[in-house]
């Protein structure tokens, strides 16, 4: 058998080699060449490239995001199945990134950086973590580890999810009715959400109006969930004190974007949870082997749910 592969990432060849090793030397060929392969592993593959792959049965994502897979659904046969990448290393990386940006703001490190540039000595005080609520929007394979890391650091954590959850050690609100309750008292609101019809543009003026004045926004989900103009307006009005943004509707973020020049905003280039070729390839290989031998997918993406 052979595997088809597509990504424009800088480490594409590292991924190709890791997949080949994880699948015991199976050939890993370019998707654009087509062929008789039954599986493709991709990130942002052009839909036209699938036209020459008549025996395709499974498409696997190279990352946790799946909206790029869902965009393929209308142009591929209805019996093709999709799988997301679930890798504990990615969850750990996401949790550490969010914990770092929350601690940076919580301990006033961003403000001390500004004071240092101005050679200004002034003590700033902060609440204890136990008195600081962090709302984590999204309780999936990345959102749960994020919430757990924040709770372990001593923060009061609340969650928000599409459906009720009773199996976690922090309270989880659900549905659009529970969103206000989740964010109203939070000093930090962290978005770790999949992109769906419900979550598109969710980080916008209506949500910001629900948040307590001076709250801080962290978006490590999808860029299409944030309305940049509404964020800037909320900062100008003092509704929000700042934001840490890792995902953007257009990437790379254009040089002319006004987000670059706002000192209240920390911008990182979509690095919160980079997939690891060594561990990620093994996770993908295990999913492929289960699918080929038993028809089972542990991390299946369902188009009707949009994740």
DSSP string over 222-248: -GGGB-HHHHHHHHHTTSEEEEEE---
Q: Which tops the pLDDT comparison, 297 or 163?
A: 297
Residue pointed to by tokens 């953007």: 248
Is 307 inside any structural domain? Answer: no
Considering the entire predicted model, what is its pTM?
Answer: 0.94
**Is residue 154 one of the residues assigned to a domain?**
yes
Q: Which of 84, 97, 106, 222 is catalytic?
A: 222
The arithmetic mean of pLDDT across residues 137-141, rounded, is: 97
> What Cα–Cα distance (Å) separates residue 250 from each residue in 121, 228, 246, 270, 273?
39, 11, 12, 11, 18
In this prediction, residue 229 carries a pLDDT of 98
Residues 170 and 220 in one domain: yes
Q: What is the CATH number of the domain that holds 9?
A: 3.40.50.720
| Tally of domains within the chain | 2
Say whether both 65 and 120 belong to one domain: no
Is residue 2 pLDDT above 90, yes or no? no
pLDDT-based confidence at 228, cuts 50/70/90? very high
The mean pLDDT of 148-162, rounded to a whole number, is: 97
C-beta separation of 283 from 134 below 8 A = no
Q: Is the pLDDT score of 115 beyond 80?
A: yes
180 is catalytic: no
* Distance in angstroms (rounded) separating the CA atoms of residues 205 and 30: 43
The answer to whether residue 222 is catalytic is yes
Question: Going along 238-282, which residue ranges are E strands?
Answer: 240-245, 265-267
Q: Could you tell me if residue 176 is inside a domain?
A: yes
When the pLDDT of each residue in the chain is averaged and rounded to a whole number, the result is 96
50 and 78 together in one domain: yes
Q: Averaged over 199-226, what is the pLDDT? A: 98
Half-sphere exposure of 126 (CA within 13 A, CB side): 17
Q: Which domain holds residue 72?
A: 2-87+275-301
Same domain, 59 and 184: no
Residues 293 and 162 in one domain: no
In sign, the C-alpha dihedral spanning 45, 225, 77, 56 is positive
Q: Does residue 10 lie in a domain region? A: yes
Q: How confident is the model at residue 220 (pLDDT cuts 50, 70, 90)?
A: very high
Chain Cα centroid distance, residue 258: 23
For residues 171 and 190, state if they share a domain.
Answer: yes
Is residue 97 domain-shared with residue 225, that is, in the same domain? yes
Report the pLDDT value the prediction gives residue 306, as an integer from 0 to 100.
Answer: 86
Query: What confidence tier does 1 reach under pLDDT thresholds 50, 70, 90?
Result: confident
One domain for residues 160 and 242: yes
Select which of 270, 290, 292, 305 is catalytic.
Answer: 270
pLDDT above 80: residue 221: yes
φ and ψ of 287, to 5 deg: -65, -40
Summarize pLDDT for 160-189 with one digit per residue, the tens: 999 999 999 999 999 988 999 999 999 999
Residue 207 belongs to a domain:
yes
């Amino acid at each position: 058998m052979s595997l088809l592969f597509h990504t424009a990432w800088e480490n594409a060849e590292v991924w190709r080699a890791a997949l080949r090793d994880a699948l015991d030397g199976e050939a890993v060929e370019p998707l654009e060449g087509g062929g008789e392969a039954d599986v493709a592993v991709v990130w942002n593959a052009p839909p036209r490239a699938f036209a020459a792959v008549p025996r395709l049965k499974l498409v696997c994502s190279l990352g946790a995001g799946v909206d790029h897979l869902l965009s393929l659904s209308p142009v591929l046969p209805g019996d093709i199945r999709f799988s997301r990448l679930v890798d504990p290393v990615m969850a750990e990386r996401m949790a550490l990134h969010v914990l770092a940006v929350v601690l940076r703001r919580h301990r006033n490190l961003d403000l001390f950086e500004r004071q240092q540039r101005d050679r200004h000595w002034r003590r700033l005080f902060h609440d204890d973590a136990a008195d600081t609520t962090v709302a984590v929007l999204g309780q999936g394979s990345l959102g749960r580890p994020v919430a757990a890391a924040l709770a372990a650091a001593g923060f009061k954590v609340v969650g928000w999810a599409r459906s009720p959850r009773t199996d976690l050690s922090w309270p989880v609100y659900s549905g659009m009715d529970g969103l206000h309750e989740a964010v109203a008292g939070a000093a930090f609101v962290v978005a770790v959400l999949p992109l769906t019809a419900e979550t598109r543009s969710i980080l916008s003026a209506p949500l910001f109006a629900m948040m307590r004045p001076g709250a801080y926004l962290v978006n490590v989900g999808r860029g299409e969930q944030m309305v940049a103009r509404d964020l800037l307006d909320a900062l100008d009005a003092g509704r929000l004190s700042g934001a840490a943004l890792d995902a953007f509707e257009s990437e790379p973020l254009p040089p002319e974007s006004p987000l670059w020049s706002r000192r209240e905003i920390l911008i990182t280039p979509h690095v919160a949870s980079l997939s690891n070729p060594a561990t990620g390839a093994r996770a993908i290989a295990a999913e492929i082997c289960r699918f080929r031998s038993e028809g089972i997918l542990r991390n299946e993406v369902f188009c009707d749910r949009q994740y």
